[in-house]
Structure 1
Amino acid sequence: MGLIIGGTVLVALALWAVIAPRQQWWLLTAWRYRDPDANEPSDLAYHLTRAAGVGTIVVVLVLGWQLIDFERSPEKAAADARAARAERFGVSSARLTSAPPAVANSSLGRVPLLRYATVGDSSDSADLLAGLGTVPPGTNLIVAVDGAHEARTMTVAETASSVTVTLHGGCSPTAPRIICDPADPVTARSRPLPPVRLFPVTLARPLGSRSVVDGSTGTEAIGR
């Protein structure tokens, strides 16, 4: 917004210089001199002012067009997506993965829920998932798991006030075991191991004001 306002003011001043350079000089510059008539620019100086004004307008319009073109470019969308994921999940690298089977398996360890995000028409959810592939139809919730963990099953229990997501699994084959050791949980690290794994969830109804509970800890998960 600041660039738009600044560019508009600059073009207006340049256009004024093209149309009426003498008037512009008398209104903006003449007051600096004790004898303005003796210091008024020559006709050549006014012509150069007009040329400078035309050049300024051309430069501003070209830069403005390039800025608009960049805002619509795939590179800008990808950069926005990485920034949105870094803000929400702690890292910009993420992988959208099919939801694990809904099987309660007590023989596996419980996998902590890193974050969650609602899916809808908001630009925030669109930025989070941009470039990660197609989100399954009906998905209205995304749960994120630290890349150090591998979730093999997932159960979802809905009530009127909450949604409990319980993930079971273990250490990712690509992660050093010490990183995902239960004695050194994700909360002990400053950021998760990339790529964060994102699992789509289809709820019976939109999350709304209900809370999301991490079934591995019984505490409310972070997100919205």
Structure 2
Amino acid sequence: MHDSAKFLIWIVAFIGISLAIGLRFSRLVVEDGIFETLSALMFFGAAALAAVLAMRSGKQKPEMGRRTLWGLVAFNLLLGFSEISFGARLFGFQMPEMAGGGELDGGHDLAILAVRHIAGWTIGQRILLAAGVVLILGGITWLNARAAKNLAARLWNNPIYLRIACAFALLGAALLLDVINRYSLNAIEEVLEMSAALSMFAAFFGAVRWRPVFLDMHRARRSADG
């Protein structure tokens, strides 16, 4: 079986088992509970591994690749701190209040604020926004048709990048549930975030172990595009 298929089966099984445990023991999925703590630790671990990879790459990796790695370091740190509300409850300080209720204690709250703002728009304004988003995404896809066509194959054949893509997909799903903001969906959201953290950690753990594969991808892509 292909490595990418094995990983997808593994992560789906992890989500199913974690969700069953979370629904059975609800205290695990509360704010600052075990699942959130594990998510934070794995995001921090992914950031550390990505930083190690960036520092070790030296002259073997194009500058753009190092910038991407450092960007992912910052992104994982943001995710990790968001999971623990930037230490607000841990150290007893108050995060800023959000318009409409709640605290601004994570990057996902920016999306919630945007949705709350859009909720006050007229139907016409929302239709214009939706049409604009569709046109922009369609234009990007059309202009990058060749890259879009090869993206699935590249992800499938590179287990490290597949794991990163899987993490982003899981984060997107968790963000959607967070925006819906229903208590009954909290357990699913926490499980998806923890699964995203595990996927991201697995990606960079694999990148450190199989460093040549990770470092050569940009070089191969440049050669193909050239």
TM band (smaller chain): under 0.3
Highest RCO, 1 vs 2 (Cα 8 Å, sep ≥ 6): 2
Q: By percentage of residues, which structure has more helix?
A: 2
Relative to the length of structure 1, the TM-score reads 0.23
Relative to the length of structure 2, the TM-score reads 0.23
Q: Which has the larger radius of gyration?
A: 1
Q: By percentage of residues, which structure has more strand?
A: 1
